[in-house]
A and B are shown apart, each in its own frame.
Chain A
Amino acid sequence: MKKINCILLVDDNPADNEFHKIIINDSDVCNNVKIATTGNKALEYIIKSGNSEAEFPKPDLIFLDINMPGMNGFEFLDEYHSLDSKLKSKIVIIMLSTSLNPDDAERARKIKEVTDFMNKPLMVDTLKSTIEKYF
């Protein structure tokens, strides 16, 4: 079983974050789970991880929610796009949404930083297969 170092959850919903954390821990696919409740906090974390990786492990995988107050998932990606490419290297971004709107999935697929699009909630099986697939 593959195991990655860090997963960053970007979601404003604490219940979802809690649940996903449990699922990630249950599936035992990574060492660290970090949580950012806004897009800005996520950007900050990525920048910090560039400075001191010991304190802030660099995420290998980001699960990005679309619907967030303030900065939504797509706006986050706009900002993320202009980050130093060193910071972004090897980061896999998967968008997570409750949205059944096919437009969102379509839009997400067009963004080159986005590797995949999945629906909430994450489950142990799907998480495992995702890790297998992308790492």
Chain B
Amino acid sequence: MEVYKNISIKNKLILIQLITSFIAVLICCILFVFNDIKTFNNSMVENKNSIAEIVGVNAIAPLLFNDKDAALQILTNLKSNPSILNAAIFDKDGAKFAQYDVNKTPFLFPPPGDDEVEDADFIDQKFMVVYQIMKDGEFIGTVMLRSKIVAFNEILINYVKVASSVLLGALLIAFIFSAFFQQKITKRIQFLMNKTKEITSTGNYSNRVLIKEMDEIGVLSKEFNNMLDQIQKMQNSLKDANADLEERVKERTAKLERSNQELEQFAYVASHDLQEPLRTISNFVGLLEKKYPKGGEEDYYRYFQFIMKATSRMQNLIRDLLEISRVGRNVQFAEVDCNKIILDLMAEMEISITENDATVHFSDLPTLIASEIELKRVFQNLISNALKFKNKNGTPRITIRAQENDNEFIFMVEDNGIGIRPEHNNKIFNIFQRLHSNTEYPGTGIGLATCKKIVALHNGNIWIESTYEVGTTFYFSISKHITSSINLAT
């Protein structure tokens, strides 16, 4: 059955037709054989019956005249019919009158009138016929003939031969015809199958199956076409919806980009232009400060100190604002060796590192695609933070490491500084977010926001792990697939 399941419909059809024809022809043959045997037997019995009748009629005179020799003579004439094995004539009292035996061995006939001999009997392929001799309506005796069934076996074998050749012939013809006609069905199924394959492989749902005949396959094809109609309709509406969505996303993106650009432009211009008047204030207050030195007239010096501090703080704020607004402007991504970045930074920050008695360790940093200026700025911010927020007791130790996975590089900048309380973990990346007073740790609160923006520009993330008063590790990732639309980077 397992084999049957997997053979093609074409072969299944042929097989089914062959089995059907085989069974049909076999039944026919069997019926024919039985019928023929029956007919043959009947004719044989009838033939023997008429012989018995002839013998009976001829035996009337010998019986009437009690001439046993004549009766025997009549029986002996049966020699010409070799199928008759034994024959006997009985008188009206049932006494044997004459008997003939082909093989000289006398056959013991049952007494006349016994039921057993009424009909032809085919046991042992022999049979008997009985004829009652009548003369003018009066019973005068009985004839019994015992005959063998002539060549029954040969006839039977012949029948089997004929039947099997008919069977074979029928099967052959059935095979040829079914092999030919099954094509009419299987070809259409195959056509439907190929069409389905074609549609699934090309995804072209505008394809249709041509329908020629409205049988089951035709209905199937029609429904298949209907299904394709629906899929196509769905596909089209999906396409429309997609296009619509894409259009809207595009619009929204353009809008966002525009407003982002405007915002950055604003920040840039504002901070740039704010600097100028501030510088003038600072310049001239500086001059005044010199004119009214410490210990001079009234409290001028002190007031100028306040003004100078305030302007210098504002200048720093504006400078940092300008910095953050410039992230992503004219950015260029290229291959960058991070080891070189750190070496450069260590040279640039040498004074600050030495002043703080700090050590910076790094090993095996990767070479990757990034914006060198921006990446350098991230490291610079993180290192100077580590120096700024050092533990009061102990010298700063900064360790820079990197890991690589399939999609990104992850950098770690670890320090042994004052640490950050967990509740501040996310706050610190907000612009202008400061956790300390300006006198404690001076700064504008823009450095980490700038780092976050730069990392986002590299399709990455920035986060920390920190233990308060023990140290902080800053993590940031740089994607290997930088696609970021610069203006949406925040």
Count of chain A residues with Cβ under 8 Å from any Cβ of B?
13
Cα A102 to Cα B373 in complex, Å, equals 10
Other-chain contact of A98, B272, B287, B323, B326 (Cβ < 8 Å): B272
With an 8 A cutoff between CB atoms, is B322 at the interface? yes
| Interface pair B322/A19, CB less than 8 Å apart | no
* Contacting residues, chain B, for A16 (C-beta < 8 A): 279-280, 283
Return the contact of B279 from the options A98, A99, A100 (Cβ within 8 A): A98
Chain A hits for B275, CB < 8 A: 98
Within 8 A of A (CB), among B278-336: 279-280, 282-284, 287, 319, 322-323, 326, 330
Asked whether any CB of chain B lies closer than 8 Å to the CB of A13, the reply is yes
Q: Say whether A89 faces chain B, with CB atoms less than 8 Å apart.
A: no
Q: Mark A47-74, 1 if CB is under 8 A from B, else 0.
A: 0000000000000000000000000000
- A1 contacts B by Cβ under 8 Å: no
Most chain A CB inside 10 Å of its own CB: which residue of B283, B319, B323, B330: B283
A82 contacts B by Cβ under 8 Å:
no
Q: Which of B245-293 contact A (CB under 8 A)?
A: 272, 275-276, 279-280, 282-284, 287
* Interface size range of chain B in the complex: 10 to 19
> Nearest-CB distance from B274 to chain A (Å)?
10
In the complex, how many angstroms separate the beta carbon of A22 from the nearest chain B beta carbon? 6
C-alpha gap A60/B279 in the complex (Å): 27
Compute the total of residue contacts between A and B using a CB distance below 8 Å: 28
A16 to B280, CA, bound (A): 7
Q: Does A85 contact B (CB under 8 A)?
A: no
Nearest A residue to B322, CB-CB: A100
In contact, B283 and A19 (Cβ under 8 angstroms)? yes
Structural contact, A103 and B276, CB atoms closer than 8 A: no
Say how far A101's CB is from chain B's closest CB, in angstroms.
7
- CB neighbours (8 Å) of B330 from chain A are 103
Q: How far is the CB of A104 from chain B (nearest CB, A)?
A: 11
A15 contacts B284, CB within 8 Å?
yes
Closest to A123 in B: B286
Which residues of chain A come closer than 8 Å to B279, judged between CB atoms? Answer: 16, 98, 120-121
Which B residues lie within 8 Å of A100 (CB)? Answer: 319, 322-323
Query: A99–B330 Cα gap in the complex (Å)?
Result: 16
| CB pair A15 B280 closer than 8 Å | yes
A109 to B372: give the CA distance in the assembly, Å: 20
CB distance from A135 to the nearest CB of B (A): 25
Whole-angstrom CA separation of A103 from B373 in the bound complex:
12
Q: Look across to chain A and name the residue whose beta carbon is closest to the beta carbon of B277.
A: A15
Q: How far is the CB of A51 from chain B (nearest CB, A)?
A: 35
Q: Contact at B287–A19, with CB atoms within 8 Å?
A: yes
**Chain B 186-200: CB-based contact to A (< 8 A → 1; otherwise 0):** 000000000000000
- A99, A101, A103, A121: which contacts B283 (Cβ < 8 A)? A121
Closest residue of chain B to A121 (Cβ to Cβ) is B283
Are A15 and B323 in contact (CB-based, < 8 A)? no
- State which residues 116-134 of A face B: CB under 8 Å: 120-121
Interface residues of A in 15-50 (CB under 8 A from B): 15-16, 19, 22
Q: How far is the CA of A42 from the CA of B279 in the complex (A)?
A: 24
- Complex Cα distance, B278 from A16, in Å, reads 11
CA distance A99 to B279 in the complex (A): 12
Assess whether B326 is in contact with A19, with CB atoms less than 8 Å apart.
no
| Residue contact B319 to A15, C-beta cutoff 8 Å | no
Contacts of A19 in B (CB 8 A): 280, 283-284, 287
Question: Which of chain A's residues have a CB closer than 8 A to the CB of B326?
Answer: 101
Instruction: State A83–B326 Cα separation when bound (angstroms).
Output: 36
Q: A101-B326, A103-B330 are in contact. Are A15 and B272 (CB under 8 A)?
A: no
In the complex, A22→B279 CA distance in Å? 15
Establish whether residues B276 and A98, one from each chain, have CB atoms under 8 Å apart when the complex forms.
Answer: yes
Q: Which residues of B contact A103 (CB under 8 A)?
A: 330
- A22 B287 Cβ-Cβ under 8 A: yes
CB-CB under 8 A from A120, the residues of chain B are 279
Provide the residues of chain B in CB contact with A15, threshold 8 Å.
Answer: 280, 283-284
Tell me, in angstroms, the Cα distance from A19 to B279 when the chains sit together. Answer: 10
A14–B467 alpha-carbon span in the complex (Å): 54
For residue B319, which residues in chain A have a CB less than 8 angstroms away from its CB?
A: 100
Q: CB-CB < 8 A to B280: which residues of A? A: 13, 15-16, 19
A119 to B280, CA, bound (A): 14
B308–chain A nearest beta-carbon distance, Å: 13
* Shortest CB distance A134–B (Å): 23
Residues from 9 to 49 in B contacting A, C-beta threshold 8 Å: none
Which residues of A are interface residues toward B (Cβ below 8 A)?
Answer: 13, 15-16, 19, 22, 98-103, 120-121
Q: A15-B283, A19-B280 are in contact. List 17 more A-B contacts (CB 8 A).
A: A13-B276, A13-B280, A15-B280, A15-B284, A16-B280, A16-B283, A19-B284, A19-B287, A22-B287, A98-B275, A98-B276, A98-B279, A99-B272, A100-B319, A101-B326, A103-B330, A121-B282
Query: Can you give 27 A-B contacts (C-beta < 8 A)?
Result: A13-B276, A13-B280, A15-B280, A15-B283, A15-B284, A16-B279, A16-B280, A16-B283, A19-B280, A19-B283, A19-B284, A19-B287, A98-B272, A98-B275, A98-B276, A98-B279, A99-B272, A100-B319, A100-B322, A100-B323, A101-B326, A102-B373, A103-B330, A120-B279, A121-B279, A121-B282, A121-B283
The 4 closest A-B pairs by CB, nearest first: A15-B280, A19-B283, A121-B283, A98-B275
